Amino acid sequence: MTTTHRPTLDLGAVQKIRKAAVLVALVGLVGLALVTQSIGGVDGEWHEHVESVGFVAMILSIVGRAWCSLYIGGRKKAEIVDRGPYSITRNPLYVFSFIGAFGIGAQSGSVTIGLGFVLAAMAVFYLTVRREEAFLEREFGAVYLAYKARTPRFWPRFSLWRDEGDLTIRPTLFVTTIRDGLVFLLAIPVFELIDAGQAAHWLRVVAYLP
C-alpha cells in the first residue's frame, strides 16, 4: 500500500549535509589506515581474507542499493513506500550502505578499520534519518506513524515481508544508484596504494590492527 501526499519541505539540504559528513568521516578513516596495518602484514593471509570479504560486501551493497531503488523510485518525499525491502526495514538503502562501508574499510585488510567505517556511517545516517523521520511525520501523520511503529528503523525483520504485484520503475534512478554504488570500488586502488607505500616503507606504520 502506498499513500500519495505532496511534500512542503525539501530534503535536499539534509542529503547534502549527509554526503559532506560521510566525506569527512571517510577522509579521517583513510588517514587512520595510512598509519596502521593489519596483523600479519600486507601480504598475510588475514589481510587477503579480509579484503576478499570486503569485496563481496561492496558488491552486495551495490546490488542491494539498486534493488531498493526499484521500489522507492524517487517517491520518498511523496509517498510512504512499504513494500519489498521497505516492508522489513524503513531504511534499506542505508542498511546496504552500512554493508558497503564495511567493504570499503575492509580493503585495508583490517576488520577494525572496516568496523570503524560502519560505525562512522551509522553515526552520520542516524542523524540524517532522524531529520527525515521528523519530515515524514509532519507530512504523512498517522500513516507514517503506523508504518514507523511496525517496521524497524534499520535492522530488518524478515517476517514482515510484503511485496508489490507491479512496480513502476524509473530507469534513470536505477542507473544513478548503480553509478553511485560503483564509487565504493574506488576503495580497492586507494588501499592498494596504501599497502604499496607501507611495504616500501614510504608510510610509517604505528599500530597493527586485527
**For the segment 9-60, what is each residue's pLDDT rounded down to a tens digit?**
455 665 666 667 667 777 778 888 888 888 878 888 999 999 999 999 999 9
What integer pLDDT is reported at residue 7 of this predicted model? 46
Of the chain, the percentage scoring pLDDT greater than 90 comes to 47
**For the segment 183-195, what is each residue's pLDDT rounded down to a tens digit?**
899 999 999 999 9
What integer pLDDT is reported at residue 13 of this predicted model? 62
Task: Give the domain ranges of the chain.
Answer: 15-205
Tell me the average pLDDT across 129-149: 91
- Residue 73 binned pLDDT confidence (cut-offs 50, 70, 90): confident
CB 87 within 8 A of CB 161: yes
Q: List all residues 6 or more positions away from 38 whose beta carbon is below 8 Å from its beta carbon.
A: 44, 46, 47, 50, 108, 109, 110, 113, 208, 209, 210
More confident residue, 97 or 26: 97
What integer pLDDT is reported at residue 135 of this predicted model? 87
Sign, Cα dihedral of 34, 37, 38, 40: positive
Of the chain, the percentage scoring pLDDT greater than 70 comes to 88
**For the segment 146-181, what is each residue's pLDDT rounded down to a tens digit?**
999 999 999 999 999 998 777 777 788 888 889 988
C-alpha cell of residue 205:
606504520
Q: Is the pLDDT of residue 198 over 80?
A: yes
- Residue 3 binned pLDDT confidence (cut-offs 50, 70, 90): very low
